[in-house]
Structure 1
């Protein structure tokens, strides 16, 4: 996929002064400080912003906590804004590109040690550079009884994904909820331990989140309040058996009934993972070629979607989820699923069962995520529109009800197709919320596609706002816009986090503008 990662056009940079570069190289070694053309790998490879894409002025790659602290001292002395990333592969949302010209990206990929794996209590302690693929390989090599939860693409950071509220597809799929006991370097350089980890030598450092007094771990999710340098990650014991289930329904209007059939099973725990519902277009983007169904550069319509359904034997909407436990428990859960699905007209349930110790090579590619097996399969969706592959995502939080989700699906499709793109996406159902996703694939060298993406995303945000909804994450280019939509109490939450920013980061150097939080006086709106 190297051809996908060329450096896009960028705004003229603000250089880092020579004295700061020398200090960084003295602290980290010359090979771990990248300047000028060497930063190309840390610019958003899927950018649709053209010359407004922000390239870092430099990249620092620390190898341990002491080097992170050294970077903070130097950045404070020289007033250099920092942009920390764990691996920098959050491509649909801006990759490693910072928000402010002249920023130094702090890339933590060298801090990639798996510090411990506790088989008894099912927790691993990781540094932020550890990827899902690395963790999975370690667990397999040591014949661990633990199973990681993985997102769609396994090349990213376990901790970085959790800190951005990413998710996977097992019962432990809410990745942020599995973090326990963080080590955080504050903007001042001080190292803080959260929860029970704040008790020196505590054997429960990564087992109990509460500790004593206020819980502060949430301050480091999607924030600019510190750099997480290690964390405990809770993991699922590998079950005796698992069933990977899929449900297909034949019509667009079947979405609401499908959602309402699955939601009670999620709430009562019959379905232990989340349930991912994708439309036929996203299935086709993952396994097929668009030219086979739609040669014209127009949105794929329902007649062509019917061809996709026939070719790949899928539904208009397709749900996937997992059942886990002993074989008897899996069978009992499956019986309840069959009963619920039978009430949805035209629904078809397919099931593949696996022993818990299955060889990953023997797992059907569509079932890998439900069995905690990382892959790069979904990378190919970026190539759906041809040319130079790229995509961006729209991720909306909704109630998990058929009524709300059907309304959202129609609104998202209307806006996406109005800009000439295919509505490829769907909804991930959790017991009490849903994430609505539109994956917008485009050719990043197409002079029509880039401006169309820039037009589309604000319109999607407006459509969400009209429903009383909002995204839970966004591309860096729209962080300020999304922040304004969290407007209860005349943006009382934003004012609170801004005050925290001024108190925790008095120099204003740590990720200014992340999630729309700026040091006082430095917001573009001021």
Structure 2
């Protein structure tokens, strides 16, 4: 058997002892420490395959078994890294931040409780979007999910990492209402109204009495979330929309400045995303179908791809949801605003309750086909995302695009970018697609990413989430008052988790005992 990765201060004997105790508590069928197990829990899209290797994994099936794992972890000071389903590809997947950690795989915890009157659901970590979608359909419930473009992950895991979808309920973190959390010392806490015994309002009112803690467990390592309440959107009476294409890179300014006010006024209540030509084309074709030229694609090749698939340089899909009278009035506003902006093309869509509903992220149906973009370069495809938050302003968007596009060209990479609307902000999601079988290309990714972070930092823009490799780098960019937020995070971490066992290094939060690993 190959050498087992060990966390700092561990010996193989100590790991064997911890493993034996875990097997005694959980049973051998829930403990995974063989070579194949460790390979299975590696980051499939890692830039550097030598990093973030786990020592093994455990797969508890209940809160009591999670508590048992944490007892062993505290006894041995063994770092554990919770995952829901481990499908957060491009951000680390199933791998831990700290090599030698034991992955706490919660994917076997799959209970669903649904309140059909209020449209709330209580899920465990292993409930995926397909699981919940099937549950809603099987029980003929009049509600729609909100799903990310690649929907094979955990409903809980996505919300806790601030994932987004495309309906009016698309900012998933905002829809969290009540958590159950196993704290590092094994205590079980319910937040909000869940702190009140037998409260029927746990999933109805997000705050409770006193401080509201739900958001403390988002992108943090302060505890292990075992249940999450979430609000779902009632099935609307109608959905009307426009699929709009624009011809030139500089048209991004017009698109942002026209769509932004409609979003802020809530004429548009959904979360639209402006994407460039490659976001559409990379799932339909490969680069080698068009050219073998090195470096970033030329304008001539880009034009040929666009003509083949009849797409603009930028495209966006806009939808309005609700009662038919409201959607028709909103659509009149939307149609005029976008038509006056001078698009390359506009295609109208419509759906009324009772009509056949084609599967789409716009109506909350899970999809996975967008992940085909990782085949763009061939070989073992992968990607990571660089996603700074910027003001919802056309000039700011064009300037951010120009800086980023120049870096893509500098590092010889093909640009796949989008600008996703919140109510007051834009998230500039840039997919760095690569071929893991091309060592020369892989050698460019790290300096490329670091250059993008530095460019964004210079203009006051920070990422909203990032890959395991860059959690320390990104955390360091949040530097107001000498890193006061970082100090607060670590004070809380050390108070709640004095042995530093839960996900050390997650989001750049390092506990005492592992602080020497920061930046490593």
Please report the TM-score for the alignment, with normalisation by the length of structure 1: 0.94
1:147 and 2:168 matched: no
CA contact (8 A) 1:244 1:370 kept: no
Equivalent of 2:396, from 399, 404, 408?
A: 404
Structure 1 residues 84-483: aligned runs within 5 Å:
84-114=82-112, 116-360=113-357, 362-363=358-359, 368-483=360-475
Deviations for 1:14-65, whole angstroms, at most 9, x for unmatched residues? 55622211111122221111003122221100111132x2211010101010
CA–CA distance in structure 2, aligned partners of residues 449 and 205 of structure 1: 50
Equivalent of 2:24, from 23, 26, 40?
A: 26
CA–CA distance in structure 2, aligned partners of residues 95 and 252 of structure 1: 33
Deviations for 1:171-199, whole angstroms, at most 9, x for unmatched residues? 00000000111000000000000001100
Which residue of the partner structure matches residue 83 of structure 1?
A: 81
SS of equivalent residue, structure 2 residue 388: strand
SS of equivalent residue, structure 2 residue 68: helix
SS of equivalent residue, structure 1 residue 206: coil
CA contact (8 A) 1:279 1:318 kept: yes
Which residue of the partner structure matches residue 522 of structure 1?
A: 514
CA contact (8 A) 2:84 2:154 kept: yes
Which residue of the partner structure matches residue 59 of structure 2?
A: 61
CA–CA distance in structure 1, aligned partners of residues 289 and 416 of structure 2: 16
Q: Which runs of 5+ in 2 are unaligned?
A: none
CA–CA distance in structure 2, aligned partners of residues 153 and 11 of structure 1: 32
CA–CA distance in structure 2, aligned partners of residues 69 and 301 of structure 1: 56
Deviations for 1:140-169, whole angstroms, at most 9, x for unmatched residues? 111110100000111100000000000000
Q: Which of structure 1's runs of 4+ aligned residues deviate more than 6 A?
A: none
Query: 1:355/1:288 Cα in 2 relative to 1: closer, same or farther (>3 Å)?
Result: farther
Deviates more, 1:160-169 or 1:336-345: 336-345
Query: 1:484/1:221 Cα in 2 relative to 1: closer, same or farther (>3 Å)?
Result: same
CA–CA distance in structure 1, aligned partners of residues 3 and 230 of structure 2: 37
Deviates more, 1:38-47 or 1:505-514: 38-47
CA–CA distance in structure 1, aligned partners of residues 168 and 407 of structure 2: 33
SS of equivalent residue, structure 1 residue 502: helix
CA contact (8 A) 1:132 1:150 kept: yes
CA–CA distance in structure 1, aligned partners of residues 284 and 235 of structure 2: 28
Across the two proteins, how many residue pairs are aligned to each other? 511
CA–CA distance in structure 2, aligned partners of residues 505 and 193 of structure 1: 18
Q: Which runs of 5+ in 1 are unaligned?
A: 1-8
Which residue of the partner structure matches residue 41 of structure 2?
A: 42
CA contact (8 A) 2:142 2:235 kept: yes
CA contact (8 A) 2:260 2:393 kept: yes
